[in-house]
Amino acid sequence: RLVGFEALVRWCHPTLGVIAPDVFVPIAEEAGLIMQLTDTVLSCACGQLKAWHDRHPQFADLKVQINISGKDVAHAGLIGRVARALEDSGISARHLALELTENILMKQIEAALPALEKLRALGVGLSVDDFGTGYSSLSHLSTLPIDSLKVDRSFVRGLRSDTKEAAVVRAVVQLGNSLGKSVVAEGIETVSQFDQLREMGCDVGQGFHLGHPLSVPQVD
């Protein structure tokens, strides 16, 4: 069943066509425009989720997940920016989750912690994206105010019985369960991957096997 959406950003250029975020996001960061981009995504995604909540009763409990950058976390005004997006849209804080990659989180752990704690106090969910590709400390994981770990797609892609990838995913699922955190598998593309993840106890996932990215009209 559907439990929520992840907001995906694409630049639809008039002559170059669709440009992926791994191309334009680093440019936005270099140009000092990444926080404006984050604010635009926050506003659009929260507003759209509110519209879906109001229009479709079966969507009333669905959440939206939004990626934020390291510069967002370091920005003193992040809490106010998120609170403003929630107030302007009218959605509850519990319907919003922010994703931060493991590498960014570990690099800025001391500076990020106060902001993360304030976001949790606000009621916003927090997720570690691309988990397994960085160097998280177990002591940090046990104390960080996060709700979920997202297993990086590189591990799911190589998911076959008795492989190192399978061992890593199983360990992450067990770690998440023991810490009371949800585990989300990214990049599920085959029935075999889906079945193995369910057998491991991973109950949330995303990927082409479950659904392709959709535009707003396609969701409606």
Q: What's the one-letter identity of residue 44? A: C
Whether the CB-CB separation of 155 and 177 falls below 8 Å is answered with no
pLDDT at 137: 65
| Cα 35 from Cα 20, distance rounded (Å) | 18
pLDDT beyond 70 at 83: yes
3-state secondary structure at position 79: helix
pLDDT at 220: 86
Q: Quick one: what percent of the chain has pLDDT higher than 90? A: 77
Phi-psi category of 187—alpha, beta or left, where left has phi over 0 and alpha has psi -120 to 50?
Answer: left
4, 81, 113, 137, 197 from 48: Cα distances, Å: 12, 17, 29, 36, 31
- Beta-strand ranges (E) seen in 11-112 are 11-13, 17-19, 63-67, 96-101
33, 58, 85, 208 from 52: Cα distances, Å: 29, 9, 16, 22
pLDDT beyond 70 at 136: no
Whether the CB-CB separation of 131 and 152 falls below 8 Å is answered with yes
Q: Record the pTM.
A: 0.92
List all residues 6 or more positions away from 48 whose beta carbon is below 8 Å from its beta carbon. 64, 216
State the average pLDDT over residues 104-120. Answer: 88
State the average pLDDT over residues 33-62. Answer: 95
| Cα 171 from Cα 191, distance rounded (Å) | 21
Whether the CB-CB separation of 186 and 135 falls below 8 Å is answered with no
Whether the CB-CB separation of 146 and 177 falls below 8 Å is answered with no
pLDDT beyond 70 at 107: yes
**Cβ count within 10 A of residue 158:** 14
pLDDT at 135: 66
